Amino acid sequence: MKNFIIILLLIAGIWFVYTKIMENQPKKEVNAVTNYADNLKKSEEKAEAAKNMANLMVMKQAITAFRGTEGRFPTSLDELTTKNYIDRIPQGDYNYDPATGEVSSK
């Protein structure tokens, strides 16, 4: 029993010393500028993705309206502007299939 108490006191002492040593260790510094830059880049990427999605939705709606009125899909995306279904083709690279009316980002 005496040996058990000595071992228990040694473990408690080692734990106490370890925690004091760790408290005095310099903490890893978080670089606020780097974190801000990383978050800004992620925000810009999310905004770009949202813009592309919105542009695709506008063109899909224009294609649907064109087909409803004209009875066919436009031969090209430019036909949507010439027949005033949209003011302009949104900036970006798009794939368009006039046979199916499907439009997607490249």
Q: Are 70 and 90 in contact (CB under 8 A)?
A: no
Model confidence band, residue 4 (pLDDT cutoffs 50, 70, 90): low
Amino acid 80: pLDDT: 95
Share of the chain above pLDDT 90, in %: 56
Q: Which amino acid is at 37?
A: A
- Residue 60's pLDDT is 95
Confidence label for 70 from pLDDT (cuts 50, 70 and 90): very high
CB-count exposure of residue 100 (10 Å: 0-12, 13-18, 19+): exposed
Q: How confident is the model at residue 1 (pLDDT cuts 50, 70, 90)?
A: low
Pairing mode, strands 102-105 and 94-97:
antiparallel
Coil/strand/helix, residue 94: strand
Q: Which of 88, 59, 87 is nearest to 73 (CA)?
A: 59
